[in-house]
Structure 1
Amino acid sequence: MNPADTITLSGITAIGYHGVFDFEKRDGQPFVVDAVMHADLGAAAATDDLAKTAHYGDVADTIVALIRGDAHALIETLAVRIAEAILAGFPVVSAVEVTVHKPKAPIQVPFGDVSIKVFRSRAAGSGA
């Protein structure tokens, strides 16, 4: 296994309804997700076979569905759900790092970004 192999998706964006305030759940706002998937890509490269890797289009669809799906009070919950879904849906992925950005978080001071980063792996008992 080559743990240095990664597939990275950056800036997957969709409107979601996550937050602790009623107006966040009612009005929605953009959420941006980055995912770094760790996988041994040797078999995919050797055979040129899409079935031996994580189809990044399908991963992106999974992320968007979760952003748009059930509302959560915390983006921590969203990040963990995305990580768990990637591990469950893409067997070649051995570990994943997911960052959820909430660029329009209701903060009363100037800021550039709010983000949560989680790391989950099959070895860590992620349930996948």
Structure 2
Amino acid sequence: MSTFTIFLALIVVVAFLLIVVIMVQNPKGGGLSSSFGGGGTQQLGGVKKTTDFLDKSTWTLATLLLVLILASNVAINRGGENVDSKALDEDAATTTPALPAPLPATNDAATATPADSTAN
């Protein structure tokens, strides 16, 4: 298992968790975050603390997702080939591509125009 595969799996997990945390939030306090615990007086930590936790977890997961995406770019296996631009290669810029050979000229009746055949 390569490092890039591990980063990709972590990115998928963090993205899923971020989606769940964002969907649970409601800015007016009436979403799923306020219904944890069933009753209004028996809520775990209260609505305010739940909102603070969800807000902090959203920022944490978003930051973690960004870091994982940037780190996965470093871990991509490029196959050991040179990934520099061909436009910057000095050897390629000085050589000209070979032109195709010209077609041979033929003088047969099929290529003659009607104007040529009637002008006697």
Q: TM-score range by the shorter chain?
A: under 0.3
More strand by share: 1
Find the structure with the greater CA-based Rg. Answer: 2
- Between structures 1 and 2, the one with greater helix share: 2
The normalised TM-score by structure 1 is 0.22
